[in-house]
Amino acid sequence: MIGCTCAVCTSSDPRNRRLRSSIWIRSADAGILVDAGPDFRTQALTQRIDRVDAVFFTHTHADHVHGMDDLRMFNFLQRRSIACYADEYAEANLRDRFAYIFNPRKDYPSTLPQLQLHRLDGSVSVGNIAVQPLPIWHGREPIMGYRFGDFAYMTDVSAIPDATWPLLEGVRTILIDGLRFSPHPTHMSVDEAVAVGERLGVERLWLTHMSHQIDIQTAHQFLPDWARPAWDGLRIALNP
Ligand SMILES: [Zn+2]
Ligand SMILES: [Zn+2]
Ligand SMILES: [Zn+2]
């Protein structure tokens, strides 16, 4: 956290230095990005992201969308536009906030990202990967998580609606918001995230979007042995 000198913020363990939450799925024939936050460029460089065929947005808070412009490098590399998916509110909000991309002036002086923004309507296939949207709550705002085979990603989640639980059936690994130990109005606490894992009977739970309350070296003391904090660069094998 900017300006903080606590043990986690000054830790020498690189896993305690966290960029904004995002994931990238890579199969033999496709690359899928979930969110493009302000750290996207750094993440693409450090994690050697080499392909983005589609971007799925969870919601439009600044920490999840303000790296949008850097997607244009993938237009140059792949020589085509990139499909982006968002729910109804997020789609309208992105068109408004990134009007220079989605409604450009004819005389805009530089090369813009070429993005085709689609409204989510059920599951989407990208290459051989099926992407299942998961409607979830972020405080009072409805947002999206996503399921890929037996893996589900739910960042910025505070509650899971009744209708979404069946969509999570059979999930074996979840990467889920666990902001801090105490409750928060728009994010799950560590205990709330673990309770989701217990209800689903997952084999593995990874926490994401953690605040500096969570020390990667001591967090295991507060977690069952199937749950751990994730870290930047963590790789998870998926079964699509
Ligand atoms: Zn701190
Ligand atoms: Zn958010
Ligand atoms: Zn966030």
What CA–CA distances, in Å, run from 142 to 60, 89, 98, 135?
11, 9, 21, 7
Does residue 101 sit within a domain? Answer: yes
Ion ligand 1: residues, CB within 5 A, are 1, 4, 6, 9, 212
Ligand 3: centre distance to CA 21 (Å): 7
Q: Which parts of the chain have pLDDT scores under 70? A: none
Does residue 77 sit within a domain? Answer: yes
Ligand 2: centre distance to CA 64 (Å): 7
Give me the number of domains the chain comprises. 1
Does residue 156 sit within a domain? Answer: no
Ligand 2: centre distance to CA 109 (Å): 32
Task: Supply the pLDDT for residue 110.
Answer: 77
| Domain enclosing residue 108, as ranges | 21-129
Ligand 3: centre distance to CA 200 (Å): 23
Task: Supply the pLDDT for residue 107.
Answer: 85
Ligand 1: centre distance to CA 4 (Å): 4
Does residue 92 sit within a domain? Answer: yes
Q: Give the tens place of pLDDT for each residue, 37-57.
A: 999 999 999 999 999 999 999
Q: In terms of pTM, does the model score above 0.95?
A: yes
CA gap 58, 61 in Å, rounded: 9
Does residue 48 sit within a domain? Answer: yes
Q: Give the tens place of pLDDT for each residue, 196-226.
A: 999 999 999 999 999 999 999 999 999 999 9
